[in-house]
Structure 1
Amino acid sequence: FCDRTMGTTASWMLLLLLLMPVEVQDSSVFHLAGDYLLGGLFTLHANVKGTTHLSYMQVPQCKDYEVKVLGYNLMQAMRFAVEEINNDSSLLPGLLLGYEMVDVCYITNNIQPVLYFLAKENFNLPIQHDYSSYEPRVVAVIGPDTAESVITVSNLLSLFLLPQITYSAISDDLRDSSRFPALFRTIPSGEHQVEAMIQLMAHFGWNWVIVIASSDDYGRENSQLFNEKLEGRDICIAFQESLPVPLANRTILPPEKKRIEVIVDKIKKSTANVVAVMSLDLVLLDFFEEVICQNLTGTVWIASESWSIDPVIHNISNIQLAGTFLGITTQNIPIPGFSDFRVRQTYVKRPVVSKNRSEPTCNQECDSCLDTTISYSTILTLSGERVVYNVYSAVYAVAHALHHLLGCNGTSCSKGVVYPWKLLQEIRKVNFTLLGHRIFFNENGDPPLGLEVIQWQWEEGRNPFESIAFYRSDRRKLWKVATNISWNTPNNMVPYSVCSRNCQLGQWKKPVGLHTCCFECVNCSAGTYLNQSDDSECQSCPENEWSREGDSRCFKRHLRFLEWQEPPTIIVVVAASLGFLGTLAILIIFWMHFQTPMVRSAGGRMCFLMLTPLLVAYASVPVYIGRPTVLSCLCRQTLFTLCFTVCIACITVRSFQIVCIFKMARRLPRAYGYWVKYNGPYVFVVLITLLKVVIVTTNIMVIPTNLTTQFDPDDTQILILNCNANYSKALLLNTSLDLILSVFGFSFSYMGKELPTNYNEAKFITLSMTFYFTSSVFLCTFMSVYQGVLVNIFDVSVTVINLLGISVGYFGPKCYMILFYPERNTLAYFNNVIQGYTMRKD
C-alpha cells in the first residue's frame, strides 16, 4: 500500500482492513510481548520519496535501501524506555509493557503497519457501528517521524481515537485538534523552529539570507512559514530555491543534477553569506557533495531540525570546508545508560511462528542496523541524546497515562481492558517530571520543551553538535548565546551577510529595489535629524532648534541681535556720535548767530524746533543695539519716529514758505497774510505731530510689542530676536507719513529751483528729501523681501544716515557760510541778492 490510500473515504479504508491480512515477524528487536503493547513507527531504512514503489501492489522491500542510523537510534530509545519501565516497580507494578515496532521506510510504508496495529490477534478488524468498546492490538502509537507520514497514520488512528505521539514531526498543521484529535508530539512545533532561526539571524546581524527548501511538503511548509514570520522583520531573502527530490534509492537524474549545480552556483555568486536549509536529510547528500565540488566556502549554513544532527551528512568528506554549520534542534537531555544500550547485542530466542501465519514481511527486518549504528557510536555518544529524549518521554507519557487509568498504586495495578479513547483522556492530563524536565501537553498537543542552537564541530573527541544557544518556547526568546563560537573566517570574525551596511547616525535609508534590506544611506537634510540607525525617515527639529545636514541631534539656534562689538555697530555708533556732536555744534552756532540773516532765512526759531528732535533722535540710536527689550522696542516705534516726523514737518513747511515768499507772496498776498498772522508753520507742525502720535498709538495697539524670534534665511543656525513678528509692517506704517511729507517737501523745494544762487535753500532741501525718500524706500523694499539679521543693521544704518542727511544736507551749508563767509551773513548782502533776482525776473 502507499500514501495514496489517504484520498479514499473512511469506510473504504475500513473495508481494506477487513480484506487485507497483515503479518509480523516475531523478533526480540521489533517485538516484545506484554500486558499492553505500544506501536512504534520508525525509519530504519531510508527510501527517498519516489514513485517506484507505487507501480506495484505490495509493501516495499525496505531492506533494499540504506540504513538510517538516527532511525534505529530512536527505535532503540523506545526499547530502552519500555525495558526501564518494566524494571521499575513504581510506575506499572505487576504489569509488563510490550511493543510492536515497524520500519516505515521513510514515508513509503505507513498504511500496512497501521492496519496491523488496529487489527486484533486474528489480523481482522470487524465493521461495527460503535468502536467505543473495541480493543486494538496496541494501546498507543509512537511515531512516525515525518509530517506526511504522521498525517497519513493519524487520519486512520483518529477514527478509533487511538493515541498517537510523534517525536519529530514539526508541521503546524498537526496542531489542528479537529483534524487530529488523538495526536500529540514531544517536539516543539515548526513555528518555534522558524522563530529560533530568525532570532539567530537577528542576533548576528544577518539580514540578507538565502532560503533553500526541498520540493516536498516539509520544505514547502517550512519555507512558507519562514516567509510569513519575516513580515515586519528587518531580514530579507536574497532568493529562494527548491531542491529536487531524488527518486528511490537516491537515484538522481541528469536534469535534477543540473538543477543542483545551478542552485549551488547561484549561492556562490550571491552577496548573501547565510543559507537557511529547510529540507529532509536524504535530499541534502547530493546537494552538499555539489557544494564541495564547486568549492563553495565561507558560507553559514543554518540547518532545520530534520538534518541539524544528522551524522551521515556530518561525515561527508571535506564538508567542514563549506563554511560554518549551525542548526536548530531539540534540547540535549542525557539519558543514563542509553549509550551502552544503543549498541547492545540482544540474544533472545525468537518466538515460534504459528503455522497458520503467512511469511513475514520486510518491514521488521534490519540485519545491518546494529553494525551501522556501532560504526557511528562515537559521534552519537558525543552528540548527546536529543530526539532520543522525545521518544523516551513519549513512552513515559503513555506509561503515566496507563498508571492513572489502571489505578496503580505502589504495589499493583488493576489489570483491565484499556480502550483507546479512555487512554487518550489520560494522556491529555499527564504532568510529570522526567530527568529533571516537566512533561505535559498543552491544548495543541505540544510539549513545553525548548530548542537549542548547535554548531557542527569536527575535532576529535569533541561534541560534533556543540550547543551555542537556547530557545525558550514559553517566552519565544533566544538566550544564552555563546561568545566563543568557532567561525570559519579569518580572525574568527562573525560572518557578514547584509544587503546594505548600516547607515550612520544622521542618515536615513533610501530603499533600493524591492527589498527593504537594500538601501542607500542619505544624509538627513538641514533642520532634521536621525539618532536611530535603523530608521528610514528623519525627524524634524523643534521650532527653536536646528541641525546641519547629516546631524544626529538638534541644537539650540544661536540667538542673534545687533551687538555692540560688531564692526557695523561700531561704525553706526561712531557716525551717530559724530552726528550728535555736529548737530549740537550747529545748535550752538545757530544760537550764537540767532539774529543774523543766515539763521533767520533758515527758519529762525523753527531751526531749534528741528535741531532739538534731531539731537533726541541721535541719542535714541542705542535702543537699536543690544538684546531687544519691550522698552527698547517701544522707543524704536515711538521716540525716533516722532522726532524724525517733527524734523520732516519743519523742512516741509520751510520749503513751502520759500515758495510762498518768492512766488506766491505777489499772487496770494491775502493768504500769505493769514499764514503769517496765525503762525501757520507752527500750527502745521503741531497738527502733523498730533497725526503722527495717533498713527503710532494705533500701530502699538494693532501690532503689540512682543519679543519674537524668526529664522535667518541665510543661516538656519541663527535665530533672530525681533521686537515683534510684524516689525517691518509696523515700520512701514510709521514711516508712511514721513514719506508723504518728504514728497511734498521735495515738490515745494523743486518749485523753488530758480531762486537766487547765493540764497537757495531749496536745493539743500531737495537733496535732503531725495536722499531720505530713496533710503526709506530701499529699506522698506529690503525688509519686504529679506528677513535676516541684516535687517536690524540696515534699519539703524538708514536711520543714522537720514539724520546725517538733514544735519549735513540742510544745516551744514548754513554753518559753513556763517563760519567761513561772515560777509555774506549781512542784511545788505541778502537784500542785494533778492533785489537782483527780482530785477532779473521782471
Structure 2
Amino acid sequence: MAFAIEEINKNLNLLPNVTLGYSLYDNCGALVVALSGALSLASGQEEHFLLQENCSGIPPVLGLLIHYLQNVNFTTPFGDQVSFDENGDALPIYDVMNWLHLPDGQIKVQNVGEVKRSGFKSEELTIDEDKMFWNFESGKPPRSVCSESCPPGTRMARNKGQPECCFTCIPCSKGKISKNNNSLECTSCPEDFWSNPQNDHCVPKKTEFLSYHEPLGICLTTASLLGTFICAVVLGIFFYHRRTPMVRANNSELSFLLLVSLKLCFLCSLLFIGRPRVWTCQLRHAAFGISFVLCVSCILVKTMVVLAVFKASKPGGGTILKWFGSMQQRGTVLALTCIQAGICTAWLVSSSPAPHKNMQYHNDKIVYECAVGSTIGFAVLLGYIGVLAVLSFLLAFLARNLPDNFNEARLITFSMLSFCAVWVAFVPAYVNSPGKYADAVEVFAILASSFGLLVALFGPKCYIILLKPERNTKKAIMGRLTINE
C-alpha cells in the first residue's frame, strides 16, 4: 500500500495538487480489534495524526485498504458497503477503493488499480485509467502542468525566465507543418506541396494556367472563334462576288490569301489557352509568327502594287508593272514568310520553348507557363513582324492621297497604324504581367490586331458589296462616275 501511494503521489497526472497519506491500524489477530478500528473509521472518530508539515486541517479519508471479514458489514460515511472477512492472512491482490472530496465538488474514483506481489519480483502497481471517474464537466482530471500541450500544426517556444513546463504554442508558418503534439520545430513541405489550413499535413499545390473553363479563357476563346467565323463569312462573300469590280480591282488573289492568313491568326491564339504542353509551347509562337508574317506580307505586297499601278499610269512608267505580276507577288509573299519560318526553326532547334513550373509569383500555387527558351529568338520573331508592319505603314502612308474614288492605300494605312499601336502597347504589358496573365495579354494582342486588320481592310468593301451595289461598278471604282450617297 505504501508503495502504491508513493507511485500515485509521484504521478502528477493522476491526482494533481493532492498528496496522499495513510494511517495503519493493526487488527492484532483479533476480530474485535479489527472491528473496532473499522467502526471508528466509519464513524469519523478515529485518531488523527499530522503526517506532513505542508498538510493543514484534518485530512479527509481518501480510501480503505482492508482485509475481507466474513459476515461483517458496515456503511461508510459515503454510503458504500464494506464487508470484512475473519481471515487475517494478507491477500496477494488488493482492490483500492477511493473517495475524494474537493472544495469544488466530489470526485469519486473507483477501482483505480491493483498491487500485485510476486516471489521473484518486487511489488508492481498497475493503474487502470479507463475505470476512473472524474466528476467534472470535461470528465477529465485537472492538469498540473504550467501550459497545455501544443497540438499538431504548432511548435513549442520556451518562455525565458520561467520553468521548462511554461511555453507558448506558436502556429507553424505557411508552408511548414508539425504532425505531433509538443513539436519543437516545424518542418518545411516539399517543393510541389503546401501546408493545409491546419498546418498539420502537406497537400499538393494548386496549379494555375489560362484555362478554357475560367471566364477569361472562355471570353478569349469565344473571341477567337468569332473572328475565325467572320473571316470565313467574308471569304465566302468575296468568293461569291469574285467577278465584281470591287473584288477584282483590289487584287483578289492577295485578298483571298490575306483572309486565310487572318483566319490562321485567330486560330493560333487558341494554342495559348489550356494546360501548357511540349507541342503547344513549341507550336504557339511558331504558328503565331508565321501567320502574322504571311498576313503582313500580303498587305505589304498589296501596298507595293498600288504604288506600282500609280507609277505605271504616268508617262514612261509602264515597264514597272512587269516587276509586280502575279508570280512576283506570290514569290515575294513566299520569300518573306520563309524568312520567318527560318527564324522559328532556328529558335526551336537552338533553345526550344517548353512547359515550366513557375513558383516565383505565388508560394502556394504552381503557375504553369511556356518558357520561351531563347529570349533572343522571341525578340527576333517579333522584331521581324514589326519591320514588315512599319514598312507597310510607310508605303501606305505615301500612297494615301493617290487619286482614286476608292483608295485602298488609306485603309492599309489605318490598319497598319492600329496594328503597330497594339503591338507597341503589348511589350510593356507582357513584361509586367505575371503568370497566366502574360498569355492572356499575348492572346488579346493577337485578337485585337487581327480584328483591326479584318475590319479596316474588309469592312468597307463588304459594306459596298452588300449594301451599296451601285458603287460596285467599274466606272465607280475608276472614279468616272459620281454617285450620291
Q: Normalization by structure 2: what TM-score?
A: 0.65
In structure 2, the residue matched to 1:747 is 394
Q: Judge conservation of contact 1:508–1:523 (CA < 8 Å) in 2.
A: yes
Which moves more between the two structures, 754-763 or 539-548? 754-763
Describe how 1:434-583 pairs up with structure 2 within 5 A.
Answer: 483=129, 493-514=140-161, 518-548=166-196, 550-583=198-231
Amino acid at match of 2:413: T
- DSSP-derived class of the 2:357 partner: strand
Residue correspondence of structure 1 range 29-40 to structure 2 within 5 A? none
Aligned residue runs from structure 1 range 658-807, under 5 A: 658-659=306-307, 661-662=309-310, 672=320, 675-676=323-324, 681-711=329-359, 713=361, 717-724=364-371, 726=373, 732-755=379-402, 758-807=405-454
Assess, with a 3 A threshold, how the Cα gap between structure 1 residues 321 and 518 changes in structure 2: closer, same or farther: farther
Taking the aligned partners of 1:480 and 1:729, their CA distance within structure 2 comes to: 78
- Which structure's CA Rg is the greater one? 1
Q: Give the Cα–Cα distance (whole angstroms) in 2 for the partners of residues 818 and 829 of structure 1.
A: 13
SS at structure 2 position matched to 1:721: strand
Q: Which residue of 1 aligns with 2:34?
A: none
Q: Secondary structure at the match of 2:479?
A: helix
Q: Give the alignment of 1:82-121 within 5 angstroms.
A: none
Distance 1:802 1:712 in 2: 31
Gaps of 5+ in 2: 1-5, 22-47, 63-89, 91-97, 102-111, 117-123
Shift of 1:302: 11
Cα deviation digits, residues 225-258 of structure 1 (max 9, x gap): xxxxxxxxxxxxxxxxxxxxxxxxxxxxxxxxxx
Q: Cα deviations across residues 283-306 of structure 1 (Å, max 9, x unaligned)? A: xxxxxxxxxxxxxxx736799xxx
Shift of 1:717: 4.8
Give 1:650 shift: 1.5
SS of aligned partner of 2:238: helix
Q: Any idea what the Cα deviations from partners look like across 1:573-628, whole Å, max 9, x if unmatched?
A: 33333322321222233234435443344333211221222233444454444444
Counterpart for residue 299 of structure 1: 17
Q: Once the 2 structures are TM-superposed, how far is the Cα of residue 675 of structure 1 from its aligned partner?
A: 3.8
Secondary structure at the counterpart of residue 709 of structure 1: strand
CA distance change for structure 1 residues 668 and 689 in 2, over 3 Å: closer, same or farther?
farther
Partner of 1:811: 458
Q: Contact 1:576–1:621 at 8 Å: present in 2 too?
A: yes
Q: Deviation at 1:830? A: 3.4
Matched with 1:607 is 255
Among 212, 233, 243, which residue is 1:585 paired with?
A: 233
Q: Distance in 2 between matches of 1:807 and 1:517?
A: 77
Alignment length (residue pairs):
400
CA distance in 1, matches of 2:196, 2:348: 38
Please name the residue that 1:109 is paired with. none
Alignment-derived partner of residue 473 in structure 2: 826
- Structure 1 residue matching 2:149: 3-state secondary structure: coil
Task: State the distance in 1 between where 2:54 and 2:206 align.
Answer: 69
Q: Conserved in 2, the CA contact under 8 Å of 1:699 and 1:733?
A: no
SS of the aligned residue for 2:201 comes to: coil
1:646: how far off?
Answer: 0.2
Pair 491,529 (structure 1): closer, same or farther in 2 beyond 3 Å: closer
Go from structure 1 to structure 2 and tell me whether the alpha carbon gap of 1:593 and 1:316 turns closer, same or farther (over 3 Å shift).
closer
Structure 1 spans left out of the alignment, 5+ residues: 1-192, 206-273, 275-297, 304-310, 326-383, 385-455, 460-465, 471-477, 836-842
Q: What's the secondary structure of 2:225's corresponding residue? A: helix
Other-structure match for 2:25: none
Q: Could you say what secondary structure the match of 2:200 adopts?
A: coil
Separation in structure 2 between the aligned mates of residue 597 and residue 549 of structure 1, nearest angstrom: 70
The verdict on how the C-alpha distance between 1:786 and 1:676 changes in structure 2, with shifts beyond 3 A counting, is closer
Aligned residue for 1:17?
A: none
What's the % identity of the aligned pairs? 25
Secondary structure at the residue paired with 2:155? Answer: strand
Q: Matches of 1:314 and 1:725 in 2, distance apart?
A: 85
CA distance in 2 between partners of 1:552 and 1:810 (Å): 62
Distance (whole Å) between structure 2 residues aligned to residue 777 and residue 511 of structure 1: 59
Within 2, Cα distance between the matches of 1:566 and 1:492? 52
1:569–1:625 Cα contact (<8 Å) kept: yes
Distance 1:644 1:506, change over 3 A: same
**Secondary structure in structure 2 of the residue aligned to 1:707:** strand
Cα separation, partners in 2 of 1:494 and 1:658, compared to 1, 3 Å: same
Work out the CA distance in 2 between the residues paired with 1:654 and 1:778: 26
The within-5 A match list for 1:223-622 is 299=17, 314=51, 316=53, 318-319=55-56, 483=129, 493-514=140-161, 518-548=166-196, 550-622=198-270
Instruction: Check the 8 A contact 1:523/1:549 in 2, yes or no.
Output: no
State the alpha-carbon separation in 1 of the partners of residues 466 and 99 from structure 2: 110
Counterpart AA for 2:51: H
Question: Structure 1 479/678 Cα, relative in aligned 2: closer, same or farther at 3 Å?
Answer: farther
Backbone CA RMSD of aligned residues: 4.9
3-state SS of paired residue (2:344): helix
Give 1:697 shift. Answer: 0.9
Cα deviation, 1:316-374, whole Å, max 9, x if unaligned, reads 58547899x9xxxxxxxxxxxxxxxxxxxxxxxxxxxxxxxxxxxxxxxxxxxxxxxxx
Which whole-Å CA distance do the structure 2 matches of 1:727 and 1:557 have between them?
Answer: 28
Task: Note the C-alpha offset of 1:693.
Answer: 0.9
- Report the Cα distance in structure 1 between the residues aligned to 2:58 and 2:328, rounded to whole angstroms: 111
What do the CA deviations read for 1:119-158 (whole angstroms, capped 9, x no partner)? xxxxxxxxxxxxxxxxxxxxxxxxxxxxxxxxxxxxxxxx
- 1:551, CA displacement in angstroms? 2.4
Q: Conserved in 2, the CA contact under 8 Å of 1:711 and 1:788?
A: no
Contact 1:510 1:519 in 2 (8 A): yes
Secondary structure of residue in 2 paired with 1:708:
strand
Query: Structure 1 564/486 Cα, relative in aligned 2: closer, same or farther at 3 Å?
Result: closer
Contact 1:487-1:495 within 8 A present in 2 as well: no
Q: Are the counterparts in 2 of residues 563 and 625 from structure 1 also a CA contact under 8 Å?
A: yes
Q: Do the aligned partners of residues 485 and 316 (structure 1) sit closer, same or farther apart at CA in structure 2, a change above 3 Å counting?
A: farther
Q: 1:485 to 1:629 in 2, by over 3 A?
A: closer
| Change in CA separation of 1:557 and 1:605 when aligned onto 2, cut-off 3 Å | same
For 2:308 and 2:368, the matched residues in 1 are separated by: 48
